[in-house]
Amino acid sequence: MDLTVPQGSAFGLIGPNGAGKTTFIKSILGIVQPTEGTVRVLGGTPEDPRVRARIGYLPERLHLPGTWTAPAFLATVARLKGLPSNPASGLRLLERVGLADAVGRRIGGYSKGMRQRLGLAAALVGDPALLVLDEPTDGIDPMGRMEVRRILQEEVRRGTTLFLNSHLLAETERVCDRIAILAGGRVVREGRLEDLARGGARWLVRFAPGAQAENLAAAGFARSGADGQYHVEAEDPAALNAALDRARATGALMVELRRDGTDLESVLMGTVEAAA
């Protein structure tokens, strides 16, 4: 496989079970060694401790010391990264991931969702340049997923590169701007999420009752179903707004606008079936 993740991007790796996603992540981190080829991370090799110190990692199977407290665990992660002791920083991280009320409890009493939150906090220790997250919201309730998504978006805005592996495709869609589809150990499709999943230049528009189909057709809109739904081709925002202005000039009132296309699940299924 050949894959390049742009710096500062939110990159999602998706694919069926057994495609090789977790193995690839382990090769990025130097946990497993490729039999051939080259892996470069942050301009260096995965085996370089200086490179590893700039990576935050949340594994798919998270094993935590049950007799420890969360602050003690984060302090150990910081020491492993060669960072100075800073208990206040660890407490801020725990508050950020929603564990402020559990700092005095032993990790063994944490729920699965709480353990995932602690794993995310550990990945964030030291403000890493690269976050590698393998199923980060596994076991977290819907409200918690929203909080995790907010944290990841904040990190990307900060300039962090995010590399995400998740079976929750809706979460991947909400967080990532680029994806790669892995099947049988090969990257079979890769690119901007907008280009792969959302139909490019085609838009779906729904107009309020009373819009005249013939007038909308003259403005460039083709009927796309019942209930006042039409589609229009527009290569850029200027072309889209010009088409909408023509429609409004006929008296049509727009009540819904969205890009035409398929969701990420459909893209995955179609791509894997084509590659089989």
Q: How many helices and strands in the chain, by DSSP H and E?
A: 11, 10
247: domain CATH number is: 3.30.70
Domain end residue (candidates: 195, 212, 231)? 195
34: domain CATH number is: 3.40.50.300
Render each residue's pLDDT in the chain as its tens digit; 276 residues: 888 899 999 999 998 888 889 889 999 899 998 888 899 999 999 999 899 999 999 998 889 999 999 999 999 999 999 998 899 999 999 999 999 999 999 999 999 999 999 999 999 999 999 999 998 888 888 888 899 999 999 999 999 999 999 888 888 888 999 999 998 888 988 988 877 765 557 788 999 998 899 999 999 998 877 678 898 888 888 999 999 999 999 999 999 988 776 667 777 777 777 776
Cβ atoms within 10 Å, residue 276: 8
Domain assignment present for residue 253? The answer is: yes
Residue 138 and residue 20 share a domain: yes
Domain assignment present for residue 1? The answer is: no
- Residue 83: what are its φ and ψ, rounded to 5°? -95, 150
Residue 142 and residue 51 share a domain: yes
pTM: 0.77
Domain assignment present for residue 143? The answer is: yes
Domain assignment present for residue 85? The answer is: yes
Domain assignment present for residue 265? The answer is: no
Q: Note whether 113 and 144 are within 8 A (CB).
A: yes
If one counts the domains in the chain, the total is 2
Domain assignment present for residue 270? The answer is: no
Strand order in the sheet with 55-58: 55-58, 130-134, 161-165, 10-14, 178-183, 186-192
Residue 178 and residue 151 share a domain: yes
pLDDT value of residue 251: 93
